Structure 1
Amino acid sequence: MDPARRICRAGAMKPPVHNVPAGELLKLLDELAAFSVPGPGVTRLLYTPEWCGAQLFLQQRMKSLGLEVRQDRVGNIYGRLSGSGAAAAEQVILTGSHIDTVVNGGRYDGAYGIAAAVTVLHYLQQTFGRPLRSLEVVSFSEEEGSRFPLTFWGSGNVTGLYDGSSREDIADAEGVTLGAAMKACGLGGEAASAGVSAETAAAGGKDYDDAGADGAGAAGTGSVDTGSAVTGPAGSAAVTISRPLRSDIAAYLELHIEQGIVLERSARQIGVVQAIAGQRRYRVTVSGTANHAGTTPMGLRRDALAGSAEMLLALERSAAEEGDPLVATTGRLEVYPGTPNVIPGEVQFTLDIRHSDAGILERYCPQVLEEFAAIAARRGLKLEIQPVLMTTPAPMDKELCAALEQVCLEQGKTYLRMVSGAGHDAQLFAPLCPAAMIFVPSRGGISHAPDEYTPPEELAAGMQVLAAILYKLAYTEEGVIEDRG
């Protein structure tokens, strides 16, 4: 993927009116939501039976719609509508999102982008036939970080963030390693467990032992027994297996719910994302002295909780002074020993700071951490700060954003230029190829919860925008992707 590539917007042909059937999208969302652990909302974690079932279902659905289906060795699923142009194989327009969820999450996060992409590709094929440039829908295996202490496992393998070398060093809360979970889903690199029948492998079928650095075989996703093992069906032998790393993606577009309240409050139908905020995450430990709550005078205490509370109030104040779009959050706070009549001797808390400007992040984070250190020193406390995550802001492609705004104008849809405070797969593609995101409103700004909801008409509006931009990129000469000077 050449970062010098750009989208050319030549030509002035009148765009067709796109009427993508919203009913197909809603039905597909309902079907995907069924692949969940019983309980509130949707729970579909990486390499679990529910995940396997959803990915197999998508393979079958894509194939039934006439798409060329393949899967890579970390479980990403692709459906391709091949282009007819001379450079079609080198100019793939990719769209989709992630199939995994948080625990007790909603039915739209990730799944909406996949379901809309599948629906749109089917519509474009039925309405306009074969495109000039290849179109692909992707269902990324993982983005949330809900089961294992990593994020973007799906798109990260596609873009080169991961090479699979650390999968035996990463484990979930139950002690199951990423490698073991992959193997349980048929991703262990052995033909018999790779979603292909032993007979096919013995007959000289595809070689699943050439996994290279990734060390993974075919993603057999579907046949689930009552235990923990998940084996691939023999029928998946018809699905082409590929290495995760890609070099043929010319542009990436992701349709997603906003997961915030900005669009709803501004009464806009579409969000055109200008950038995805960078993140800094820290684990902070404040240590004092645990002592008797009744016999230790207030002036002689080294109270770790009181010191932490002062730090968090300072964080809130400084973030408010910095102003939007900077946000700073503490989502977890643990107090030790946690006894009513004992002064807290240690507190651990998380720190999450986000902004779309790398320079502001670089300035603000050390500034607030220095203030924490000053508070600790004044109170006689020990302070330890461990960086956990550092991601740079990801600006979206300006020409693709302009093209999306033009689509909204053509369709008579209201839109808003905005920054995404949440991380998305698109941020991994942004340094490598033109990338863009389309947001639709989230009711009440609620996401990662069972109450996550976007009305059908707003889901349909986002899908119509996606259809129009994919048509421009794949079916018209104005969507040609060229190298910059």
Structure 2
Amino acid sequence: MDLEKVLADNLVNLSAIGSDPTGGMTRLLYTDSWLDAQKYVEKQLTEAGLTAHFDAVGNLFGRVEGTKYPEETILSGSHIDTVVNGGTLDGQYGVIAAYVAIQYLLATYGKPLRSMEVISMAEEEGSRFPTVFWGSKNFVCEAKREDVEGISDFEGKKFVDEMRRQGFDFRDDTEAKRDDIKAFVEIHIEQGNVLENQDLQIGVVNNIAGQRRYTIVLKGEANHAGTTPMGYRKDAVYGFSKICSEIIDRAVEVGDPLVVTFGKVEPKPNTVNVVPGEVLFTMDCRHTDKEVLKNFTEEAEALMKEVAEHHGLSIDIDLWMDEAPVPMNEEIVAAVEQAAKEQEMNYRVMHSGAGHDSQIIAPHYPSAMIFVPSIKGISHNPAEETKHEDLVAGVKVLAQTLYELAYKE
């Protein structure tokens, strides 16, 4: 089997489904292009000798039974949906890599001792409907129908109607979580530039960072830009600038892996000749240690209140996301690291600053992730790209990992 060619052909063929005229790719949950992509993957799974089936909500599985321990399953895969006008690797590379790796193992070594399975998860991105991880949350029986029964997309199409239009429905709430999964390995592009900057081929992920996200509103007093002396102003933008500067400076002091981002800023009235009386802004903070994350953000909250009081501003702080860090399983991480060594790859152990399906699955089943480099760290963008030799290297490490987990006693 020519692994490099099979991988390249599948990437080209699958990327054509949902291709965007601007050069990117848009494949949103329960759209026709999404279903076409899942059907393409289903065909590839069947042709590779796997038994394919969909679950109730549209997660796709391809399975080969183990010869000695069929009740123990080694799982690999990722998500098939994209962001709007995204790239051609985020998500689908992990799906393709999983079935190409298993196809290679079957052709090289025959059937495994333990069962191997590919999962192409229905949705991870949250790009069409206001819900995320719909695929993986259903897989681990965490998804709640009440969270999606009333939601619609940007065109007003209802989630439930679109799900049923494509032939899917809610899972049976009485259905028990699977007890056969012994390991889950997800491969993904890094979506950052650490590996590229360090000239490495593989990242062995041992932790997914926790996230705390805030929306903050500072209120002062809008007033005339020419007639209001500096000492009499209640300038909300000035207050925001102090908050932004001091918290970022503090984050630099704390150091990696802490990151903090003020990504959205909306001053009002946002015009050239009026002192801004209000600013809405967001803060996104991430760290791999739950206590460090909690302590830093609580310190940041106190600082924001102090700045607001000092400048005569009112402040409203809304913490609307609080996701704890998710460590990967040490044994599975060790298996990935050993596979990278055996394949003679340049690698490093690292954390993921972005969220992935693995963070949903890891609390339920032993899990780990493999990263391959992203050129310039670009992702969620038509310019998203990874050298083909790095994509191949990732599949080789994944295949070696699956071999260790599924073929050995």
Return the offset for 1:314.
1.6
Which residue in 2 is equivalent to 1:141? 122
Where structure 1 has 5 or more consecutive residues not aligned to the other structure, the ranges are 1-18, 190-210, 215-242, 478-485
Residue deviations 1:316-374, cap 9 Å, x none? Answer: 11111110000011221122222222222222112111001111011111001110111
Contact 1:261/1:444 (8 A) holds in 2: yes
Q: 1:277, 1:392 within 8 Å by CA — same for their partners in 2?
A: yes
SS at match of 2:89: coil
Task: Tell me the equivalent position of 1:39.
Answer: 22
| Distance in 1 of aligned mates of 2:329 and 2:169 | 37
CA contact (8 A) 1:396 1:434 kept: yes
The answer on 1:162 being equivalent to 2:143 is yes
2:246 to 306, 311, 314: 314
Cα gap change, 1:299/1:176 in structure 2, threshold over 3 Å: closer, same or farther?
Answer: farther
Q: Which residue in the other structure is 2:52 paired with? A: 69
Counterpart-to-counterpart distance in 1, 2:40 and 2:133: 22
- Deviation digits for residues 176-223 of structure 1 (CA, Å, limit 9, x no counterpart): 33223312322247xxxxxxxxxxxxxxxxxxxxx4339xxxxxxxxx
Please say if residues 74 and 244 of structure 1, whose CA atoms lie closer than 8 Å, have aligned partners that are also in contact: no
Contact 1:157 1:244 in 2 (8 A): no
Alpha-carbon shift at residue 245 of structure 1 (Å): 4.6
1:331 aligns with 2:263: yes
Q: Distance in 2 between matches of 1:76 and 1:455?
A: 29
Give % identity: 47
Query: Which consecutive unaligned segments of at least 5 residues does structure 2 have?
Result: none
Q: 1:171 to 1:290 in 2, by over 3 A?
A: farther
Deviation at 1:173, TM superposition (A): 3.1
Deviation at 1:99, TM superposition (A): 0.9
**Partner Cα separation in structure 2 for residue 35 and residue 344 of structure 1:** 46
TM-score, normalised via structure 2 length = 0.95
* DSSP 3-state at the match of 1:387: strand
Structure 1 residues 184 and 304: alpha-carbon distance in aligned structure 2, compared to 1, 3 A threshold: farther
Query: What corresponds to 2:155 in structure 1?
Result: 174
Please say if 1:213 is aligned against 2:197: no
> Post-superposition shift, 1:25?
0.8
Q: Is the Cα contact below 8 Å between 1:76 and 1:139 reproduced in 2?
A: yes
Q: Size of the alignment, in residue pairs?
A: 408
Q: Is the 8 A contact 1:20 1:463 kept in 2?
A: no
CA separation of 1:188 and 1:253: change in aligned 2, threshold 3 A = closer
Provide the residue aligned with 2:218 in structure 1: 286
- The amino acid of 2:65's aligned partner reads S
Query: Which residue matches 2:327?
Result: 395
* RMSD of aligned alpha carbons: 1.8
* Cα distance, 1:244 vs structure 2: 9.3
Task: Supply the distance in 2 between the matched residues of 1:74 and 1:323 (Cα, whole angstroms).
Answer: 42
SS at match of 2:145: coil
Alignment of 1:448-467 (within 5 A): 448-467=380-399
C-alpha deviations, 1:42-79, integer Å up to 9, x for none? 12122222212111211122122221111112211111
1:187 and 2:172 correspond: no
Does 2:236 align with 1:304? yes
- 1:28 equivalent in structure 2: 10
- Choose which of 345, 353, 356 in structure 2 pairs with 1:424: 356
1: CA distance between counterparts of 2:16 and 2:146?
Answer: 33
Contact 1:20 1:464 in 2 (8 A): no
Shift of 1:141: 1.1
The reply on whether 1:359 has 2:342 as its aligned counterpart is no
Alpha-carbon distance between aligned partners in 1 of 2:84 and 2:226, rounded to the nearest angstrom: 41
Residue aligning to 1:129: 110
Alignment partners' CA distance in 1, 2:241 and 2:127: 28
In structure 2, distance between residues paired with 1:365 and 1:454: 34
* Alignment partner of 1:385 is 2:345: no
- Post-superposition shift, 1:118? 1.2
Take 1:63 and 1:120, find their aligned partners in 2: how far apart are those partners? 15
Residue type matched to 1:82 in 2? E
Counterparts of 1:291 and 1:172, CA distance in 2: 39
**Are 2:68 and 1:108 equivalent residues in the alignment?**
no
TM superposition score normalised by structure 1: 0.80
Aligned to 1:473: 405
Partner-residue secondary structure (3-state), 1:112? helix
- Contact in 1 for aligned 2:87/2:381 (Cα 8 Å): yes
Contact 1:158/1:244 (8 A) holds in 2: no
Aligned partners of 2:296 and 2:125: how far apart in 1? 26
Matched residue type, 2:266 = E
Q: 1:20 offset after TM fit, Å?
A: 6.1
Change (3 A) 1:171 1:369: farther
CA deviations over 1:400-431 (Å, ceiling 9, x no partner): 22222222222211110111111111112222
